[in-house]
Structure 1
Amino acid sequence: MQVLVAEDDEHINEMLVYRLETAGYDVISFQNGDECWEYLKDTDEPPDALLLDVMMPGMDGFDVLRRLREYDFDPEPAVIIVSGRGLEQDVLTGFDLGVDDYVTKPFSPSEVVARLRRILQ
């Protein structure tokens, strides 16, 4: 299964990629929302899931999610927001936009992988 990680913090990005790869996932990563969206709209085979940060340079994670949900992907990828924005309104915005889960930073990479595995079953 393929997972796309969009996270601007290089350390967190590398940690997520490493943990997902060791769990057996094929991982693509980006450090800004614009590159993430360009990849998604141009691919013939979307990833099975996305891990999106909200606060990224260029397009933020919520904007990527809005566009993703408007696009005609079949099947539609699962989405987990992984963000430092943990206010109730941020979490509610994520769920209103159709996220499958919302994880606030700091987080356990193993927990994120477990949540992803549950969603992809």
Structure 2
Amino acid sequence: MNRILLVEDDEVMPKIIARILPEPEYQVDVAVNGKEAMQKLEDNNYQYDLVITDIMMPYANGFEILSKVKTHDQEHPIPVIIVSNAGNEDMIMEGFKLGVDDFLKKPIIPAELIIRVKRLLMKK
């Protein structure tokens, strides 16, 4: 089973992701804001196979979560996908500078998400 942390403040998105990435192959933990995401990462000792995060959220944005994940264990980094409505070039470039592994624009295309998730999990 692959453990995924989904950080998303839109209440519909976790339901969509749960259908795209079903159990038992994927266990998706959901955090509804950046603060909750940071807590889940710490409570679970960063034992996630992948983090999928939105950029614009309350308390801590996706870039802060990305930075925290990437600086935690540089020898065994957790892959991170940023998913956002905000698709401007500056945000995408900032994400890649901070070490994001992939970037998806909303609305998510299910087949594209599955391919990208599987690719990153195979690398890990």
- Is 1:20 equivalent to 2:21 in the alignment? yes
- Structure 1, 94-103 or 42-51: larger mean CA deviation: 42-51
* Secondary structure at the counterpart of residue 86 of structure 1: coil
* Secondary structure at the counterpart of residue 85 of structure 1: coil
Match of 2:106 in 1: 105
Using the TM superposition, give the Cα deviation of residue 110 of structure 1 relative to its aligned residue in structure 2, in angstroms: 2.5
* Secondary structure at the counterpart of residue 21 of structure 1: coil
- Partners of 1:73 and 1:39 lie apart in 2 by 19
Deviations 1:61-103 (A, max 9, x none): 1111111222236622110001111000010011111111000
* Secondary structure at the counterpart of residue 80 of structure 2: strand
- Structure 1, 79-88 or 64-73: larger mean CA deviation: 64-73
- Are the counterparts in 2 of residues 40 and 46 from structure 1 also a CA contact under 8 Å? yes
- Superposition TM-score, scaled by structure 2 size: 0.89
Match of 2:45 in 1: 44
- Partners of 2:74 and 2:48 lie apart in 1 by 10
- Are the counterparts in 1 of residues 6 and 29 from structure 2 also a CA contact under 8 Å? yes
Amino acid at match of 2:116: R
Match of 2:82 in 1: 81
- Are the counterparts in 1 of residues 34 and 61 from structure 2 also a CA contact under 8 Å? yes
Alignment of 1:1-16 (within 5 A): 1-16=2-17
| Unaligned runs of at least 5 residues, structure 1 | none
Using the TM superposition, give the Cα deviation of residue 109 of structure 1 relative to its aligned residue in structure 2, in angstroms: 2.4
Residues matched between the structures, number: 121
- Are the counterparts in 2 of residues 46 and 73 from structure 1 also a CA contact under 8 Å? no
The runs of 4+ residues in structure 1 deviating greater than 4 Å are none
- Superposition TM-score, scaled by structure 1 size: 0.91
| Unaligned runs of at least 5 residues, structure 2 | none
